[in-house]
Amino acid sequence: MNRIVERFADLRRQGRKGLVIYIGAGDPDLAATEQLALAFDQVGVDVLELGVPFSDPLADGVVNQLAAQRGLESGTTPAGVLATVARIRASSRIPLVLYIYFNLLHRVGVGRFIADAARAGVDGLLVLDLPPEESENYESLMREAGLCNIYLVAPTTPEDRIELIVKRAAGFVYYVSREGVTGMQARVADTIGEMTAKIRAHTDLPVAIGFGISNAEQAREVARHADAIVVGSAVVSRIAQHGKSPGLVPQVSGFVKTLAQARTVHG
């Protein structure tokens, strides 16, 4: 069974909420990415999203744009990210998703990239700029490889399109709780309950909610509505703060542990 599907099935049986963490791969370098992934597994992260550095990350706010830039500056390539995934996989079963832009798949060849990702130990792809209507053979290639094709739903997505998106998704549905780009916010959106209800009317897939969750209090609030919470920029900003210092892994994983503890909301 796919590790994402398996993890969410375990969470559902236990009545627990999931924690999805996003970091930029190669920020500050790929050795740190590997160390952080293993540390996150130990503190209770359920799914790790690795942002594959790209020169034009249009869906990302400044914090994650800078992480992509640092990843590119450290020499990180898609092939390097997959090699890092293989090293992580040698000692961890943490579900891994690549957060990626379509141009990087297109450059390699969609079929070849998916096969390489599966071989390395990737569990799913979230292709930011690939809408389901234009995915052509992407979904069938993903199914054949045993990978989950994860799609986004936004606050502005009409209900008929929500239905189309979630019926073609696998693993989980990523609900973007705010309009615009990624980034930390002072408060969570007040439409989360309404929108998650609309999504759940059309699918039994878990709903993960992200974009803007900055601290444990917000994580606790969002967990009331979600099957999983997604935290990215708040973690990435701490990676930027500590950079290549010896305290990087303990400092960042310590913060992530507070999020893991906060999401343990039942019901």
Cα 32 to Cα 25: distance, rounded to the nearest angstrom: 9
Q: How confident is the model at residue 264 (pLDDT cuts 50, 70, 90)?
A: low
What are the C-alpha distances in Å from 27 to residues 8, 59, 223, 231?
A: 28, 18, 28, 16
Residue 200 has pLDDT above 80, yes or no: yes
Most confident by average pLDDT, 33-37, 180-184, 210-214, 229-233: 33-37
Distance of CA 197 to the CA centre of its chain: 21
pLDDT at position 177: 76
pLDDT, tens only, 105-139: 999 999 999 999 999 999 999 999 999 989 889 99
Give catalytic residue positions: 49, 60
Cα 118 to Cα 153: distance, rounded to the nearest angstrom: 25
Cα 204 to Cα 209: distance, rounded to the nearest angstrom: 15
Per CATH, is 3-262 categorized as 3.20.20.210? no
